[in-house]
A and B are shown apart, each in its own frame.
Chain A
Amino acid sequence: MAKAFKYGVKGITGYLEPAERELLRSLFDDVVSMLEPEERANQDPLAALVGLDAEAREPSDRALRRLLPNVSKTDDAASLEFRRYTERSLRESKIGALKAASLGLDKDELVLTPADARHWSMALNDVRLVLAERLDIRDDEDAGHVHLMQDWSQAEDVESYLALVYNFTTWLQESLVQAMLQSLETRG
């Protein structure tokens, strides 16, 4: 069983079983592959280099839309323009955090620097956002139902398995954030 993250003299530390590390690695990789921008033949390489994407569109996939949301609730044209200037670098920063967290999975014992901890919290959050879309969590009541699923012997279909994975990542992120909040107190 994983141990909750805690904050101590070594910084933020945690422990994961090999199977849990494998699970997290595949979740991080899945979200990375969702976020990787498609290469287009007619793409302007210089524009891509500076992060512009004239072809960017609001994603049709709900989960991706939650990871890369519109910046305006009411002005679609403004959202699209903003997306063209910022979406590529947002995708890259998310991919960076997910890959950094994934690299840290090489050992059972996790010792996180403040930067590692930030990457981990972002990576776990993005994984949870994607799982929540797949589980159709729309409100607190839905979240409550999913939360009831805690026993791995109950995993009999894809949905119940996803719910268990969601609850595991939720627990892990909560323990990490508590440790990060504690480190804020100590650093002042």
Chain B
Amino acid sequence: MTLSVALGPDTQESTQTGTVTSTDVLTAPDIPWNLVIWNDPVNLMSYVSYVFRSYFGYSEAKANKLMLEVHKKGRSIVAHGSKEQVEQHAVAMHGYGLWATVEKATGGSGGAGSGKGKGKRG
């Protein structure tokens, strides 16, 4: 797995100024769960990429990078957040037919920004 390649928007915000609200300070370290997508021989690469773009709102480049990571490495962390957030994403991914699990973050292995799910679920 590659080390973190892109800082999520949350990380940038919390280091921007000294005037962040106390809630931000409290929630920033409190992001201990990952959403993992696993490779399978059925799901189309185009479809996986489409789901990453339309559900998480990721750019084409980011969606393709994560999709290729799933394909080549067998799995990829595509979002992180609170347990409730990643569980909600997992159900949405299962709705799309992607094989998703959640796991506690061990730190330093994140390859994705925090998933800002648009909640476009069927």
Please give the residue numbers on chain A whose beta carbons come within 8 Å of chain B beta carbons, in ascending order.
66-74, 82, 86, 89-90, 93-94, 96-97, 118-119, 121-122, 125-126, 128-129, 132, 137-140, 142-143, 170, 173-174, 177-178, 180-181, 184
CB atoms of A93 and B122 under 8 A apart: yes
Partner pick for A71 among B46, B47, B102, CB 8 A cutoff: B102
Task: Using CB atoms, name the residue of chain A closest to B53.
Answer: A184
Show 27 residue pairs from A and B whose CB-CB distance is below 8 angstroms, ordered by the A residue. Answer: A66-B99, A67-B97, A68-B94, A69-B100, A71-B102, A73-B36, A73-B101, A73-B103, A86-B87, A93-B121, A96-B122, A97-B122, A121-B47, A122-B95, A122-B122, A126-B97, A128-B42, A129-B42, A129-B97, A137-B42, A138-B41, A174-B46, A177-B50, A178-B46, A181-B49, A181-B53, A184-B53
List of A residues within 8 angstroms of B44 by Cβ: 170, 173-174, 177
CB atoms of A137 and B41 under 8 A apart: yes
List of A residues within 8 angstroms of B120 by Cβ: 118
Interface flag for B54 (CB, 8 Å): yes
List of B residues within 8 angstroms of A132 by Cβ: 41-42
Complex Cα–Cα for A173 and B44 (A): 8
Interface flag for B91 (CB, 8 Å): yes
CB atoms of A125 and B91 under 8 A apart: no
Interface flag for B90 (CB, 8 Å): yes
CB atoms of A86 and B97 under 8 A apart: no
List of A residues within 8 angstroms of B99 by Cβ: 66, 69
CB atoms of B47 and A177 under 8 A apart: yes
- Minimum CB–CB distance for A131 against chain B, Å: 9
CB atoms of A72 and B101 under 8 A apart: yes
- Minimum CB–CB distance for B110 against chain A, Å: 18
Complex Cα–Cα for A102 and B102 (A): 32
Interface flag for B43 (CB, 8 Å): yes
Complex Cα–Cα for A119 and B50 (A): 13
List of B residues within 8 angstroms of A67 by Cβ: 94, 97
Complex Cα–Cα for A141 and B49 (A): 22
Chain B positions 77-122 with a Cβ under 8 Å from a chain A Cβ: 87, 90-91, 94-97, 99-103, 120-122
CB atoms of B46 and A177 under 8 A apart: yes
List of A residues within 8 angstroms of B103 by Cβ: 72-74
- Minimum CB–CB distance for A2 against chain B, Å: 17
List of A residues within 8 angstroms of B97 by Cβ: 67, 122, 125-126, 129
Q: A90-B95, A174-B46 are in contact. Are A71 and B41 (CB under 8 A)?
A: no
List of B residues within 8 angstroms of A73 by Cβ: 36, 101, 103
Complex Cα–Cα for A72 and B40 (A): 16
List of A residues within 8 angstroms of B40 by Cβ: 66
Complex Cα–Cα for A90 and B103 (A): 20
- Minimum CB–CB distance for A39 against chain B, Å: 23
Q: A73-B101, A118-B122 are in contact. Are A82 and B42 (CB under 8 A)?
A: no
